């Protein structure tokens, strides 16, 4: 039976970001649903992301807050809110409007968006949609578009992709560093096996999407020959030469690698386990943030620290900011919202998170985001489970 085009739940009944998930499941074809909802192996990495945010409590300070400022500067560009849309590939799987539609919704709400290398539409068309929306809004939106880079194995191709991104006017480059190979997406493996059995055992070969010659994976399936297992720190030198703007390394999961990132002079790191889609049993993004806060707090003065993975509530955003994050990324809720309700869904998802940010700020007793401090959260439960540098050193 074909999927319905509209979810049975009216948009008005979406009150939390989780509400979009059920609505998206109703409308998405199975393959697209599996693509977005799946994670690596038994799902532990995704579960850790989701489970860890609620394990931190606030320590709210009393007394009223009469005015609120939720703006946050990301790599020199002010956004209306301290969160952005994380890079997600093949958004055409969510909605035929794909990336341009997402960008229009985000621009209306003053959010920055990170556009994936594996887009459904050409990166220039996405930038055009952004400019069109800006002109509708009288160029008043602080939103900017950033570009997530999967570095192609072929370096000539890599350089030309960076040049295209630059010429199109993207503001910053987010180089994904956790994808030397694609994680084992269990739900997709079952689906592939079923498809193959249905086709009498023939293997499906994933072709690059017609409009994108750079994506290393489409719909969660690798395009042979695209993912570079050899990407390393030395590659940053030529990437910097090609790209003169800010660079963020996406997918950092340890304090040691944050130190390396500082030594290599990048402008930001995105602490992320790729939404639980890459390595099995990864640290949650929040646990990595705590590791940096504990063992290398100087990092927060040397580069901008971003976090994504499992953020579903505006309160989670503020927990990350208390611990020193500049801003946080939100992935699946936007995919689900867009799949179920198109641009209106994107805007409502933003409104939900924005309201939660505002409510929580008021009750925390902070008028602006720069007043958030580590002593406003109690992270003891997670700190008890955090990695310890001396764990395996012999003790007498």
What residue numbers does the annotated binding site for FMN cover? 87-89, 116, 148, 176, 250, 272, 308-312, 331-332
176: contact with ligand FMN by CB under 6 A: yes
What's 216's DSSP letter? S
Total number of residues that touch ligand FMN (CB under 6 A): 25
Q: Min. distance of Cβ 332 from ligand FMN in angstroms?
A: 4
Could you say which of 19, 52, 304, 308 contacts ligand FMN (CB under 6 A)? 308
Site string for ligand FMN, 116-155 (x = CB under 6 A): x-x-----------------------------x-------
Q: Which stretch binds ligand FMN (CB under 6 A): 67-75, 187-195, 268-276, 357-365?
A: 268-276
Task: Give the range of 20-28, 254-262, 326-334, 377-385 binding ligand FMN by CB under 6 A.
Answer: 326-334
Contacts of residue 276, defined as CB under 8 A and 6 or more positions apart, other chains included, come to 39, 40, 43, 44, 45, 46, 47, 48, 49, 282, 309, 310
Closer residue to ligand FMN (CB): 185 or 293:
185
Among 141, 272, 284, 350, binds ligand FMN (CB under 6 A): 272
Which of 108, 332 has the CB closer to ligand FMN? Answer: 332
| Catalytic status, residue 139 | no
Q: Is 326 in the site for ligand FMN (CB under 6 A)?
A: no
State how far Cα 189 lies from the chain centre. 23
What mask, x for binding ligand FMN by CB under 6 A, covers residues 233 to 252?
-----------------x--
DSSP element (H, E) containing 269: strand 268-271
Residue of the chain from 266, 269, 330, 364 that contacts ligand FMN (CB under 6 A): 330
C-alpha separations of 210 from 162, 218, 219, 220, 229 in Å: 20, 11, 13, 16, 24
Residues, the chain, total?
A: 396
Which residue, 268 or 309, is less far from ligand FMN as judged by CB? 309
Per-residue binding string, ligand FMN, 274-303, x by CB under 6 A, is: xx-x--------------------------
Looking at the Cβ atoms of 47 and 61, the one nearer to ligand FMN is: 47
Q: Using the rule CB under 6 A, is 305 a contact of ligand FMN?
A: no
Residue 97, interface with ligand FMN (CB under 6 A)?
no
| Residue 261 touches ligand FMN, criterion: CB under 6 A | no
Residues from 11 through 50 that contact ligand FMN (CB under 6 A): 35-36, 49
Judged by beta carbon, residue 151 or residue 366, the one nearer ligand FMN is 151
Give the one residue of 75, 87, 123, 282 binding ligand FMN; rule: CB under 6 A: 87
Smallest gap, in angstroms, from Cβ of residue 290 to ligand FMN? 17
Binding residues for ligand FMN, rule: CB under 6 A, are 35-36, 49, 86-89, 116, 118, 148, 176, 250, 272, 274-275, 277, 308-311, 329-332, 335
Q: Which residues are known catalytic residues?
A: 274
């Amino acid at each position: 039976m074909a999927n319905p085009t509209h979810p049975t739940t009216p948009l008005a009944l979406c009150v939390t970001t989780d509400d979009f998930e059920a609505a998206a499941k109703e409308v998405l074809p199975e393959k697209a649903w599996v693509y977005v909802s799946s994670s690596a192996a038994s799902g532990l990495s995704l579960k850790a992301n989701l489970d860890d945010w609620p394990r931190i409590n606030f320590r709210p300070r009393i007394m009223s807050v009469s005015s609120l400022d939720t703006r946050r500067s990301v790599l020199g560009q002010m956004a209306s809110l301290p969160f952005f849309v994380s890079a997600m590939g093949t958004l055409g799987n969510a909605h035929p409007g794909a990336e341009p539609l997402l960008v229009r919704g985000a621009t209306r709400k003053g959010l920055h968006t990170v556009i994936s290398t594996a887009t459904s539409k050409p990166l220039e068309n996405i930038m055009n949609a952004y400019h069109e929306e800006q002109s509708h809004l009288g160029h008043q939106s602080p939103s900017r578009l950033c570009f997530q880079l999967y570095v192609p194995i072929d370096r000539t191709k890599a350089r030309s992709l960076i040049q295209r991104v630059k010429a199109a006017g993207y503001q910053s480059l987010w180089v994904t560093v956790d994808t030397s190979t694609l994680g084992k997406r269990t739900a997709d493996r079952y689906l592939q096996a079923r498809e193959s059995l249905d086709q009498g055992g023939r293997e499906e070969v994933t072709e690059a999407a017609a409009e994108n010659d750079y994506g290393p994976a489409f719909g969660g399936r690798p395009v042979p020959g695209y993912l570079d297992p050899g990407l390393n720190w030395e590659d940053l030198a030529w990437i910097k030469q090609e790209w003169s703007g800010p660079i963020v390394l996406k997918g950092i999961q340890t304090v040691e690698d944050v130190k390396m990132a500082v030594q290599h002079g990048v402008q930001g790191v995105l602490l992320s386990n790729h939404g639980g889609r890459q390595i099995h049993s990864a640290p949650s993004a929040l646990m990595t943030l705590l590791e940096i806060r504990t063992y290398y707090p100087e990092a927060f003065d040397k580069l901008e620290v971003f976090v994504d993975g499992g953020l579903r509530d505006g309160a989670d955003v503020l927990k990350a900011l208390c611990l020193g994050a500049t801003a946080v990324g939100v992935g699946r809720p936007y995919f689900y919202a867009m799949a179920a309700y198109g641009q209106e869904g994107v805007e409502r998802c933003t409104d939900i998170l924005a309201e939660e940010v505002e409510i929580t700020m008021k009750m925390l007793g902070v008028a602006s985001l720069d007043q958030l401090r580590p002593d406003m959260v109690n992270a003891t439960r997670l700190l008890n489970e955090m990695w310890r540098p001396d764990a395996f050193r012999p003790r007498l």
